[in-house]
Amino acid sequence: MRAILEVENLTMHFGLIAAAESENVTVYEGEFVGIIGPNGAGKTTFLNLVTGYLRPQAGRVRFRGRDLIGLHPNQVTALGIGRSFQIPQLFAGLSVLENVLLALAMADGHGGDFWRRLHDPARVEEAQRLLVRFGLNGHAPRPAAELPEGGRKLLDIALAFALKPSLLLMDEPTSGVSAAEKFALMDTLVAVLRESKVTTIFVEHDMEVVRRYADRVLVLSHGQIIADGTPAVLLEDPEIRRAVAGWG
Amino acid sequence: MNRSMWGAAFAILLLAIALGVVLPSWVVFLLTLGLAKGLAVLSVVLLMRAGLVSFGQALFYAAGAYAAGFALRRAGIQEAFILLLIGPLAAMGLAALIGLILSRYREIFFGMLSLAFAMAFYGVLVKAYDITGGTDGIGIPPPTVLMMPLATDRLRLFTYYLALGCVAVMLYLIRRYAHSPLGYATRAVRENEVRVAYLGGSVQRAIYLTYVLAAGLCGLSGVLVAFTVGHIDPQLAYWTTSGEFVFVALLGGTSSVAAPLGSAILYEVIKSYAFKYAPYTWQMVLGVIMLVIIFFLPGGLWTLVERAPRSRRGQEVQG
Amino acid sequence: MNTLFIILADGLVYASWLFLIGVGLTLIFGVLRILNIAHGSLYALGAYVGAVLVIAYFQDPDRWPFASFFLLLVAAILVGLVVGPPLERGLLRRMYGRDPALQLIVTYAVFLILEDLIKVLFGVNPYYAYKPFGLLGNVSLAGVNYPYYYLLLLLVAITAGVLLWFFVNRTRFGRLVIAVIHDAEVSTALGINLPRIYVTTFTLGVILAALGGAFTAPMIAVVPGIGVEVIVLAFAVIVIGGLGSPEGAALGALIVGLVRAAAVHLVPELELFIIYLVMAIVLLVRPQGLFAQAEVRRI
């Protein structure tokens, strides 16, 4: 298996707080990796560092051999990394369809096109197909602001997915989603992602979600990766459970 | 735009052309001024759609007017259509430089910096008396049309049609732009800059392009006003001119491309009547009308203008 | 050496004036988070009321002339108390939390209304209230005649600054104001009476604006439109110093005053727009101003 993401010695301190402390991990193509840890462990910081939203104080990040340190999020995204957020980052005033259309246009390199229409028929068809896969096509013409919470999450992920990334980073995809909807959401997501063979790293709070869907889990605590292995084994370990205290 | 909308637009255009011949000369003058300044108002709206309020559009308005003025008076370029190109080009050139700095700022800082540049330009226009004529300004003689001199009685009508033509073309171009990926991307920048970046887009580039485009519109506006009024002075660059553009832009709202033009015309008409009947109180009347609209028009023009409340815009990404 | 001294003197005088016209604006922004475009008109109102009072006072030539200075102060307070509360309670209060562009439009509308109201109330002919200006006589500094009135202006500016500092930092009310500046929402949650803070601060800001106008009246011909340039000058000063910071306004005024004085005597061509040049430089280098308060959004 080829390595898609190599993280070496990643370090980031905010004053006295170590959000990332010499993190080392290699993620391989096709993997479905979950990251768990208590609040403040540095999970979102990890995603911010990898995607260039933050610049680390030390360490290297390589994506398919290409050094990412120093790049801005838009450059990192252009290389093939998509990201969804804990609080969905959408274009609230645009319709759900327009959100996706824009993502598709930008993925194709047509983001700077000022003459042709965004609502190009071929693009619209592709957008609708994408929305169907994510179960959102019923909401297509409505403003993204009107979506229910689960829908907003899905759209946020759909936007990242529309870029046809090789690596997808998701920050708490099921947070804020009701317990009843959680697994339906993940079932949909995982099916789409596995089918398209997208390597996925997702930060999660919910242990059940990680247990069910991840091939591999990283446990973060105080900025350090304290465990790295299969969910079945790791999540039974009482030490781990204590370190991640607060979940359940 | 579907068939019926094209039909309506065409009908309005025909009506406007006919009105030019039918209406009394001073009304045509007002319409021309409204159309011309409407382009500057449109430029403000363009920037507002990107989430920016510029208090310095008067810079490009004046730059366009003075560029045309110099070309006409100093360089002997008299052809109207060439002058119509010179104005916007000069303005866009200036914007290409200033935009490099300005595109890195937002909100109040963008507004204040744009104001600073415009007022600095005003200072230059006033002080450089020998070149610019200082506060006296420069007289703008009638341009030639396709190399032929224009009869003075035809001047007003011609300027009206010139403005009408420019506005029609600009409306079409802006409409195309608004429906294009770049147009939507700029709106997206206003909605959520973080998401735009995480879609691979360069926020700064989108803002820079919009800024230069808006400057071009302003420059064109300046040339047209120079033709219409026949005189230009440093007041064109003063902050109250910029303020007027912003004021009118908010009157019409930012959600449609044609609304700025409509409100600009309405504004010129109201201003003219108000000034005629109440020379010392027309500004007060305008201000009161403005306040009445804001406070008493239930969900009126403002719901179009008000952005989503803070909590929905570009959320904090830090975990 | 002579020139340096003159530049210093000129600069200080101009700085005092700039501080007076800027500090009210920055105070209002700091607490109410509104950029009050009508500020210039309030300055003008102060000038007009001051001029009217002084002219009326000197109708009787036997009156004690130095009382005219107090009249100027009275004028400022009058304007503040009459205009401040209705404006804040009636108009601005409905605009809190709404789109800043909309707030600007409202203060712009108020500016338009006040400019014409001044014409209606006072007419368009100039008012000359120069008596107080010459009362204190002149002093010769480095070969140039400076009216002692300029010193008075400096004193008024310093006093206003010190009193404001004292009020904000040493009184209970001032502490509440600071709390509101830092976080209005939390302040409300703590039970602080926000509306009262807002109206008091706004009125104070209006008094300061009118104070600038009142003490300027004896130096100029008071005509319609004197407030128009003041707004943008005041903006420039407080942006340089940092929006919302009175100390910033002082520092900004000082810098601009000295730089402008230098320009006037050394490079006169720059005089008109040197202030905007300084503002642009500060915005480029340190966008939040010299005493940071507002956050800067920079990508």
Across residues A112-138, what is the average pLDDT?
91
Q: Per-residue DSSP letters for B41-83?
A: HHHHHHHHHTT---S-THHHHHHHHHHHHHHHHTS---BHHHH
Cβ pair B14, B69 in contact under 8 A: no
Helices and strands in chain A, H and E counts: 9, 10
Q: What is the pLDDT of residue C292?
A: 64
3-state secondary structure of C293: coil
Which of C206, C204, C212 minimizes the C-alpha distance to C165? C204
Share of chain C above pLDDT 90, in %: 43
Average pLDDT, chain B: 86
pLDDT tens per residue across span B36-68: 999 999 999 999 899 898 989 999 999 999 999
From A61-65, B44-48, C56-60, C158-162, the region with the lowest mean pLDDT: C56-60
**Whats the size of chain B, residue-wise?**
319
Q: What is the DSSP letter of C295?
A: -
Q: How confident is the model at residue A103 (pLDDT cuts 50, 70, 90)?
A: very high
Q: What is the ipTM of this complex?
A: 0.91
Q: What is the pLDDT of residue A246?
A: 53
Q: What element of type H or E holds A44?
A: helix A43-51
CA distance B262 to B107: 26
Across residues C97-124, what is the average pLDDT?
87
Which of B70, B50, B53 minimizes the C-alpha distance to B222? B70
pLDDT tens per residue across span C219-235: 999 999 899 888 888 98
Which of B136, B148, B121 minimizes the C-alpha distance to B59? B121
Q: How confident is the model at residue B319 (pLDDT cuts 50, 70, 90)?
A: very low
Across residues A147-161, what is the average pLDDT?
90
Q: What is the pLDDT of residue B91?
A: 97
Query: Identity (one letter) of the amino acid at A35?
Result: I
Q: Is the dihedral of CA B216, B217, B219, B220 positive or negative?
A: positive
* pLDDT surpassing 90 at residue B287: no
Which phi and psi angles does B190 have, rounded to 5°? -65, -40
Prediction pTM value? 0.86
Cβ pair A189, A204 in contact under 8 A: no
Distance between first and last Cα of chain A: 33
Largest CA distance in chain B: 70
Across residues B300-319, what is the average pLDDT?
41
Q: What is the pLDDT of residue A239?
A: 80
pLDDT tens per residue across span B163-200: 999 999 999 999 999 999 999 999 999 999 999 999 99
pLDDT tens per residue across span C233-262: 898 899 888 888 888 999 999 999 999 999
CB contacts, 8 Å: B193 with chain C: 299
B107 CB near a chain C CB, below 8 Å?
A: yes
CB contacts, 8 Å: C271 with chain B: 123, 127
CA distance A235 to A222: 18
What are the beta bridge partners of residue A220?
A225
Which phi and psi angles does B104 have, rounded to 5°? -95, 0
Name residue, tokens 């000295």: C258
Q: Shortest Cα distance from B211 to chain A (angstroms)?
A: 14
From A177-181, B41-45, B75-79, B239-243, the region with the lowest mean pLDDT: A177-181
From A69-73, B203-207, B241-245, C96-100, the region with the lowest mean pLDDT: C96-100
From A116-120, B174-178, B255-259, the region with the lowest mean pLDDT: B255-259
Helices and strands in chain C, H and E counts: 12, 4
Judged by CB atoms closer than 8 Å, whether chains meet at A107 and B177 is answered as no
More confident residue, C216 or C173: C216
Which phi and psi angles does A32 have, rounded to 5°? -120, 100
Q: How confident is the model at residue B316 (pLDDT cuts 50, 70, 90)?
A: very low
**Whats the size of chain C, residue-wise?**
299
Q: Shortest Cα distance from B303 to chain C (angstroms)?
A: 10
* pLDDT surpassing 70 at residue C132: yes
Cβ pair A68, A7 in contact under 8 A: no
Across residues A230-242, what is the average pLDDT?
83
Name residue, tokens 């110093």: C241
**Could you count the other beta carbons within 10 Å of the beta carbon of residue A13?**
14
More confident residue, B314 or B25: B25
Cβ pair B156, B28 in contact under 8 A: yes
B104 CB near a chain A CB, below 8 Å?
A: no
Which of A162, A175, A151 minimizes the C-alpha distance to A77? A162
Of B119, B283, B284, the CB nearest to C273: B119
Cβ pair B47, B54 in contact under 8 A: yes
Enter the tokens of residue C155. Answer: 């004193």
Across residues A200-226, what is the average pLDDT?
90
* pLDDT surpassing 90 at residue B232: yes
Q: How confident is the model at residue B298 (pLDDT cuts 50, 70, 90)?
A: very low
Which of B185, B191, B180 minimizes the C-alpha distance to B208? B185
Enter the tokens of residue A33. Answer: 């990796």
More confident residue, B153 or B141: B141
Interface test with B, best of A45, A74, A124 (most B CBs within 10 A): A74
Judged by CB atoms closer than 8 Å, whether chains meet at A102 and B312 is answered as no
CA distance A169 to A80: 11
Cβ pair C243, C293 in contact under 8 A: yes
Which phi and psi angles does C147 have, rounded to 5°? -65, 140
Q: What is the pLDDT of residue A245?
A: 66
Sort strands A3-14 and A17-28 into parallel, antiparallel or unpaired: antiparallel
CA distance A80 to A186: 22
Across residues C169-198, what is the average pLDDT?
82
Tell me which residues of chain A have a C-beta less than 8 Å from any C-beta of chain B.
43-45, 47-48, 51, 53, 72-74, 77-78, 82-83, 85-87, 89-94, 98, 101-103, 105-107, 110-119, 145, 159-160, 163, 171
CA distance C273 to A109: 43
Chain A to chain B Cβ contacts (< 8 Å): 126
pLDDT tens per residue across span C26-48: 999 888 888 898 999 999 999 99
What does the radius of gyration of chain B's CA atoms come to, in whole angstroms? Answer: 20
Enter the tokens of residue C113. Answer: 């209304």
From A192-201, B231-240, C166-175, C199-208, the region with the lowest mean pLDDT: C166-175
